[in-house]
Chains A and B, each alone.
Chain A
Amino acid sequence: MSGTFTKAMARNVFYGGTVFFFLLFIALTFDTMQGLPKSDNRAAITPAVAAGKHVWETRNCLGCHTLLGEGAYYAPELGNVYKRRGPEFIKAWIQSMPSNTPGRRQMPQFNLTDKELDDLVEFLKYTSEINTQNWPPNIEG
């Protein structure tokens, strides 16, 4: 091919292009941070929600479930479980685990206290009210 192709230009384009698109990404991030209060349901964050998130994390729930579609795909989506099942069902479910049905997928017994259960439910309630652009498509998650 007739034409010029220099390493110096390729390098300049790499650095220029990378810095350019990273700055663009920062700009979009900045806008997102400005807009988040409208969609992320932060008004609903209470100490109980914070404690609930801690329970969620320290039991590694994401190792089986998805939350807003992220996590493992072994067990149901929980971002909308509050709306699907309601608080009492969730607590009863967690307490009754494992089912010990032979051959079925098993959820461990985490021995959560009543307060921990309440906090976790509060966290799931807060999560279910985040504006996720109508995801998931239906209540089954």
Chain B
Amino acid sequence: MNTPAYTLDARAADATAPTPHLPGDLAIWIFILAELLAFGVFLVAYAFARSGDVAGFDARQLGLDRDAGAINTVLLLTSSFFVVRATQAVAAGACARASGWLVGAIGCGLGFVVIKVFEYAEKFGAGVTLSSSTFDMFYLSLTFFHFMHVLLGLVILAALWLGTRQRRYGPDNMNGIESGAAYWHMVDLVWLILFPLVYVMR
């Protein structure tokens, strides 16, 4: 039989009924779960702290820049999409193509960082600190905690990029890129909740 080692066609895969399989390393997934848990508790803590002082939170929230936040959402989603394409390319044995997609993903991630830095510069200029109000505390804590994850994610993406340049990954060696990709998607996932919760919900 001449099946390709790795098929991209979902229906064909259904027919052969592949065994359920976790893409990426168990170690990174345990880490991702721990991170999600920490973020989850933090986000929920925000929601309940807000419920105790809706007017105060809503007033401070007006000061946030939703346009920048939305652009950042688009950047992260697009970056995640590029990472998916990179993973697909590696699965198809095209490491060179994968590194191209990864450059795109890193570019989007850097765009996020730049916009965020401008946002922070403006906020710090306006006297927003971890101690200026409860809303500001949550806004800074949540976004900065997330921001640091973006930075770590970028380091991981850079390592993946290097790996694709050195052709370290391939259809038979997906563990590294799948693990890194899963981590980057987690960063995206958290932002998808964080953005509407902190920037928009009122």
Contacts and interface: CB of A to CB of B under 8 A. Distances in A.
A and B touch in the complex (CB under 8 A): yes
A3 B26 CA distance: 7
B19 A9 contact: no
A5 B145 contact: no
A27 B129 CA distance: 13
A10 to B, nearest CB: 4
Interface string B116-143: 0000000000000111000000000000
Contacts of B31: 13, 17
Contacts of B26: 1, 3-5
Interface size class of B (residues with CB under 8 A): 20 to 34
Contacts of A17: 31
Contacts of B27: 5-6, 9-10, 12-13
Contact of A20 (B130, B148, B175): B148
Contacts of A4: 22, 24-26, 175
B20 A24 contact: no
Contacts of B145: 24
Interface string B19-49: 1111011111011000000000000000000
Main secondary structure of the interface of A (DSSP, over half): helix
Given A20-B152, A23-B148, A6 B129 contact: no
A48 to B, nearest CB: 30
B131 A38 contact: yes
Contacts of A24: 145, 148
Given A4-B24, A5-B25, 6 more contacts: A2-B22, A3-B25, A4-B22, A4-B25, A4-B175, A16-B156
- 9 pairs of A and B residues whose beta carbons are closest in the complex: A5-B26, A9-B25, A10-B27, A3-B22, A9-B27, A4-B175, A13-B31, A13-B27, A2-B21
10 contacts: A2-B22, A5-B25, A9-B176, A10-B27, A13-B31, A16-B152, A16-B156, A27-B144, A27-B148, A38-B131
Interface of B: 19-22, 24-28, 30-31, 129-131, 144-145, 148, 152, 156, 175-176, 179
